[in-house]
Amino acid sequence: MVTAIKAIACELPVQLKLPFSRFSINEIRAHVIDKQIVESIGTTTLWEWLHEDGIRPWTHRPWIFPRDPDFEAKAVRVLDLYERRWEGEPLGEADFVISADEKTSIQARQRIHPRTPPRPRQVSRVEFEYDRMGASAYLAALDVHRAQVIGRCEATTGIEPFGKLVDMVMSQEPYTSARRVFWIVDNGSSHRGKVACARIQERWPNAILVHTPVHASWLNQIEIYFSILQRKVLSPNDFNSLGELERMILAFQERFSKLARPFAWRFTRDDLHRWLTKLTDLPLAA
């Protein structure tokens, strides 16, 4: 009986021809009684049974299933670079690893009433309505092992703005005279494919573009920096002008580079292999 109830809780309601997308505890209770699996059961008992196996069908999380046929091979190259290895060999002191990307269409929103500061027993209040003051794109490059960020704000993203970011980084030391500078990027149109690799290396022979697998932005450490920027600078979004927004972003970039330490990245190629092996057991992977 307990096993049958847990099996039902692990089904999607649509598979049981029920007109909703996820179960609540009361809906599971009603269904197992309707199907005469039990004559009666309390929600507390039902919750305790499901809790034993961590079954919580009323919750969900979004994800993107890895569909890149070369997912592991591409991901391993990135993970090895984080551990300062390339093609089985350790990186030297004159090798650097850059993680780069664009944060697109960052809006400057001017609230129609000023924010209030926090007070005893009262949080800061932010007006819901706002005027749009324009939008900017932020392109940034994180030196993974030195925790230094170099970035710029542009009107939009694209091949030319990304090229300006590369030039901005590669034209200064230690990157100009480096043996190799590995650029970890996703598959965005600004730096996609072999054409982008050739374009950048033609201008900067010591620059090597390394792409993450498709739909694997979580492998790119610049996304961690962007999440910090989002929390510390862009939320709540309250700026009087686009210029004020851009100045704040660049000032935070400077502060981060002075105070930050390299991210403690612990996800290795072995962890990746175990994770991908586990996915093969899921119905979606069949």
- List 106's β-bridge partners, or say none: 136
Domain assignment present for 247? yes
Residue 167 confidence class, pLDDT cut points 50, 70, 90: very high
170, 181 in Cβ contact below 8 A?
yes
6, 101: one domain = no
84, 220: one domain = yes
Give the chain's domain count: 2
Domain assignment present for 275? no
Mean pLDDT confidence for 160-175: 98
Domain assignment present for 65? no
134, 196: one domain = yes
Residue 213's CATH number: 3.30.420.10
90, 147: one domain = yes
Supply the pTM of this predicted model: 0.85
Q: Give the model's pLDDT for residue 68.
A: 85
Domain assignment present for 95? yes
Phi-psi region of 188 (alpha: psi -120 to 50; beta: other; left: phi over 0): beta
Domain assignment present for 168? yes
Cis-peptide into 174, omega within 30 deg: yes
Cα four-point dihedral sign 254, 257, 260, 265: positive
226, 103 in Cβ contact below 8 A?
yes
Domain assignment present for 60? no
Helix (H, G, I), strand (E, B), or coil: what is residue 70?
Answer: coil
Domain assignment present for 213? yes
Domain that residue 12 falls in: 2-52
Q: What is the pLDDT of residues 131-141, one digit of tens each?
A: 999 999 999 99
Q: Give the model's pLDDT for residue 283.
A: 59
Using the predicted structure, report yes or no on whether residue 286 has a pLDDT greater than 50.
no
118, 154: one domain = yes
Q: Give the model's pLDDT for residue 49.
A: 93
Give the full edge-to-edge strand order of the sheet including 207-211: 148-154, 130-143, 95-111, 180-185, 207-211
Domain assignment present for 80? yes
Q: What is the pLDDT of residues 37-53, one digit of tens each?
A: 998 999 999 999 999 99
Q: What is the pLDDT of residues 223-235, one digit of tens each?
A: 999 999 999 999 9
Mean pLDDT confidence for 109-119: 91
43, 96: one domain = no
45, 177: one domain = no
Where is 109: in which H helix or E strand? strand 95-111
212, 96: one domain = yes
86, 224: one domain = yes
Q: How far apart are CA 90 and CA 216, in angstroms?
A: 24
Q: What is the pLDDT of residues 182-210, one digit of tens each?
A: 999 999 999 999 999 999 999 999 999 99
Query: Please, which residues have CB within 8 angstroms of residue 54's CB and are 6 or more apart in sequence?
Result: none
Identify the CA nearest to 184 among candidates 155, 213, 227, 147.
Answer: 213
Using the predicted structure, report yes or no on whether residue 64 has a pLDDT greater than 80.
no
Q: Give the model's pLDDT for residue 285.
A: 41
Helix (H, G, I), strand (E, B), or coil: what is residue 184?
Answer: strand
100, 140 in Cβ contact below 8 A?
yes
Only one residue has tokens 């929103």, namely 109
What average pLDDT is seen over the chain? 93
Q: Give the model's pLDDT for residue 247.
A: 97
81, 188: one domain = yes
116, 151: one domain = yes
Mean pLDDT confidence for 82-101: 97
- If one counts every other C-beta atom within 10 angstroms of the C-beta of residue 269, the result is 17
Residue 149 confidence class, pLDDT cut points 50, 70, 90: very high
| Helix 25-34, helix 43-52: angle, nearest 10 | 100
222, 134: one domain = yes
- List 152's β-bridge partners, or say none: 139
Mean pLDDT confidence for 12-32: 94
